[in-house]
Structure 1
Amino acid sequence: MTTEFLGIPESELAAAKALATAREIEQQPRMLVRTHALVAQMHAELAAFIAPVAGNPNARVILTGAGTSAYIGQCLAPLLDRQVAARVDAVPTTDIVGCPRLYLDPEQPLLLVSFGRSGNSPESLAAVDLAEKLVKDVRHLVVTCNPKGGLANLDVRQALTIQLPEETHDESFAMTSSFSCMMYATLAAFSADGALDARIGPLANAMARVIAGKRKVLRTLAEQKFERVVYLGSGLFQGLAREATLKLGELTNGAVATCFDSPLGFRHGPKTFVSERTVVFVFVSNDPLTCRYDHDLIDELRRDGRAAHVVEVTARPRAGHLASSIVLEGMEQAPDADLLWPYIAAAQVYAFFASRALGLAPDNPNPQGLVNRVVQGVTLHPLEG
C-alpha cells in the first residue's frame, strides 16, 4: 500500500524534498490529541507553578519566542489576559534582547513563557538570561519540542518544562506541528483542569478535515501562482494572519509578496497592496459583532473588483458566498480560540502547494542558506550597567 501525505505519494515527496513538510502538516491532529493528554497529566504541577504569578494582579506573564514562536504568543495573549489576574503580553525574544530594560521590570513578578522548536535560538536563551539578571522574582515556563535543546535544560532559579512529543520537533525548515502543538499546550496549561476535554476532539477533527478535505481547492489556488497574498484576521486571528504570511514567505523563498493586517486596519493604507494578481484570505470570527466587520471588508474588496480572489475562511458560511469560501464544518458554535488550529492548517497547506508550484523544495526552500532552521549570525552584546 502506497503511503501518501497531502494526497501525494511518499516516494514523490521524498524525491522533491517535500516529505518532512507534508508529513508534519498532516500529523498535526494526532499530535494535538497527544499534547492534550500530556498536559493533562501535568496539570496539577503546572497549576501550582503558574498560579503565584498568574493569580497576582501586580504581576506579569510574557509569552516569548522568535519568528513563528513569537506568533504563538500574539495569538494567545489577548485570550489569556482575560483569563488570569496578571497582565499578559506577547513580546518577541528579539525585542527583549534588543531592549531588555524596556520590557523587563525588576520589581514586577514575572512568568516568562518561552517557546522553542529546537530551544537553541540564541535570542531565546539570551532572553532567559536577561530575565534572570534583571528581574528579582522570575520563573520560567518552557514549552519546547527538543529535549536536548538549551531551553529544556536551563540552569535558573525556577523553571518547569512542557516537553512535547518528539514528532513535533519538525525536521523541515518551516514550523508547522511545532507551532500548533506549542500553542495548544500553552492554552491547556493556563486553562482549568478538564476545561478542554470536550473541545480537543472537535478541534483536532476540524483540523484534519481541512487538511484532507480542503487541500484540492487550496492546491488549485496555489497553482495559479499569485504574485501577492494577503492574510487578514480580527482579534486572536491577527497573530495567526502574521504566522500565515511568514509560512508562505518561507516556503516560497520570498518569491510571493505577503501582507497581513486586521480587516478594519486594512483600509488604513495597506489596502493599496492589493493588485490584479492578489488573493486575499480572511480568517472570519465566530463572534457575532466581529464577523460583521470581517464581512464588511470582504464585501468591499469584492465590490472593488481589484483582487483576483477574496477567500473567506469560515465556520459560518454565508449563502451566496460558498464558491469563494473555505468552510469548517461542525465548528459553527466553537469559540474563536478553537478555530486557530483549523485556520492555520489552511494557510500551511496553501503555502506548501505554492512552494511546489514554484518548483521549490518545501523542506529546504532556501538552499542558499540566507535563512536557517535555527537562526545563525546573531551577535549577543553584554548588558551594560
Structure 2
Amino acid sequence: MHTYNEIMKQAQQLDKTKEIVQSLTFNEDAVDIVLFTGCGTSFYLAIAAARYYQSATGEVAVAVPASELFLHTDTHILSNKKYNIIGISRSGTTSEIILALEHLNGSENIRTMAVTCNGDTPMAEVANEVIALNDISEKSVVMTQSFSNMLYALQLYAAKISQRVELMNQLEKIPALVKTALGNGEQLKQVTEDLTKKRFIFLGSGAYNGLAKEATLKLKEMTQTECESYSNLEFRHGPISIVDEATVVILFTQKETKDFDQALIKDIQKLGGFVGVIGIASADLEADLIIRLSEDIDDLNRLVEVVPYFQLLAYQRAIFKGYDPDKPRNLTQVVSL
C-alpha cells in the first residue's frame, strides 16, 4: 500500500525537510500582504500556513484558492499593495497554480514563491523563490506526507522570517512527535471500525480550521464518506441539526478553545453524536475518545503533529470498508484543465 507507507514514513521525511529549509536563505524585503494559494489539499494547507505565518511574523497573511487569482484578480490583488504570493503544489504542475503565477508574473508589486515536491517544473521556473522538497515522491493519489512536509516547510520558513528562536526550537521537535503519533493510531479503530457511524464532522478553529478541512477531504477521497468541517463554535449555528447516533465529530482542541469545548461536546453527545478530541486535553475533559498530545510545544507549532491521526483515520476506515486507498474513485494524482 503506497498510501500507508507514505503516511508511516512521514517522520523521517520531516527531518529532511527541516534540513532543507534551514539551509535556504530567503528574500526578506517587506511586503504588505503574504498570500498563500493552492488547490484542494494544497489550498487547505494554505489556510493553515497563512494563519500560522501571520501569528509568527505579525505580517498580514491570507489564503486564496489559486483559480481565484486569475478568475477574479481585482477582488484579491490591489495595485497599491505589495505582495509575496506563495504557491503550493505537490507536483508543481497543477494547472491553476501555473495559470495564477503566470497571470501575475511581471507585476511590479508582486513577488512569488513556489513550495513543491518537484523543483524541476513550470511552477518552480516561473516563481522568484522555491522551496523544493525533491526527496518526497509520492506514488499515492491522495496527498499525505507531501501535505505534512510542505506545511512544516512553511512553518519553518515563517520562523526564519520572524527570527523568533523559540519558534524554531519548538518546530525542531516535530519529527519526533510525529513519530510518536504514528504509533498511536490503534485507538482510532473504535471509530473507524464501527459501521453504525455514517457521518463524520471535523471541527477546528484558527490554523486548525485548515486541518479540519483537509481531514474531511482525506476521508472523502479514501472512502466517499459523507463528511463536513466547521470552526468549533460555528457548529452550533445550524450544522448541529444533522447530528444523530450515526454521527462522529472529531474536535481539534486548543488552549484558546478549551474553555468552550466541553460544553460543545456535551451538546453533541445529547443529540447522540460520538465525539473524539485531539489535542492538549485537561484531565477533567470528558468525551467518547480523547487523544491527548504532549505539552512540549504550543498549539500553533504542533499543527503537523495532529496530521497523522486524521490520515490514519481515513486509511483505517477505507481498509475496513473494503476500499483501496491507492485507487480513490474519480481521482488522479494531478488535476489538469
TM-score (norm 1): 0.82
Show the counterpart of 1:30.
12
| Number of equivalences | 333
Match of 1:190, SS state, is: helix
Show the counterpart of 2:334.
374
Show the counterpart of 1:306.
272
Map 1:91-240 to 2 at 5 A.
91-132=64-105, 135-154=107-126, 159-166=128-135, 168-192=136-160, 194-213=165-184, 215-225=185-195, 226-240=197-211
Which range is displaced more, 276-285 or 221-230? 221-230
Match of 1:191, SS state, is: helix
> In the aligned structure 1, how far is the partner of 2:171 from the partner of 2:285?
31
From the superposition, tell whether residues 82 and 315 of structure 1 become closer, same or farther in structure 2 (CA, over 3 Å).
closer
Q: Percent identity?
A: 27
**Pairwise CA distance, 1:126:** 0.6
> In the aligned structure 1, how far is the partner of 2:333 from the partner of 2:6?
15
> In the aligned structure 1, how far is the partner of 2:251 from the partner of 2:7?
21
Show the counterpart of 1:318.
283
> In the aligned structure 2, how far is the partner of 1:86 from the partner of 1:227?
41
Question: 1:106·1:136 contact (CA, 8 Å) conserved in 2?
Answer: no
Show the counterpart of 1:351.
314
Match of 2:105, SS state, is: helix
Match of 2:263, SS state, is: helix
Match of 2:248, SS state, is: strand
Q: CA offsets, 1:210-245, max 9 Å, x none? A: 2112x2121342111321001001221111100100
Which range is displaced more, 31-40 or 99-108? 99-108
> In the aligned structure 2, how far is the partner of 1:72 from the partner of 1:273?
27
Show the counterpart of 1:3.
none
Question: 2:275·2:288 contact (CA, 8 Å) conserved in 1?
Answer: no
**Pairwise CA distance, 1:92:** 1.2
From the superposition, tell whether residues 148 and 221 of structure 1 become closer, same or farther in structure 2 (CA, over 3 Å).
same
Q: CA offsets, 1:22-61, max 9 Å, x none? A: 111111111111111111111xx21xx1x213xx4xx211
Question: 2:203·2:230 contact (CA, 8 Å) conserved in 1?
Answer: yes
Question: 2:204·2:253 contact (CA, 8 Å) conserved in 1?
Answer: yes
> In the aligned structure 1, how far is the partner of 2:232 from the partner of 2:278?
13
**Pairwise CA distance, 1:98:** 2.4
From the superposition, tell whether residues 24 and 228 of structure 1 become closer, same or farther in structure 2 (CA, over 3 Å).
same
Letter in 2 for 1:306: G
Show the counterpart of 1:89.
62
**Pairwise CA distance, 1:342:** 2.0
Q: CA offsets, 1:121-167, max 9 Å, x none? A: 1100011012125x32221111110133221222x6xx11111142x
Unpaired runs of 5+ in structure 2? none
> In the aligned structure 2, how far is the partner of 1:294 from the partner of 1:77?
24
Which of these two proteins has the greater Rg computed from alpha carbons? Answer: 1
Question: 1:317·1:325 contact (CA, 8 Å) conserved in 2?
Answer: no
**Pairwise CA distance, 1:186:** 0.9
From the superposition, tell whether residues 20 and 228 of structure 1 become closer, same or farther in structure 2 (CA, over 3 Å).
same
What is the aligned-residue RMSD (CA, Å)? Answer: 1.9
TM-score (norm 2): 0.93
> In the aligned structure 1, how far is the partner of 2:236 from the partner of 2:190?
28
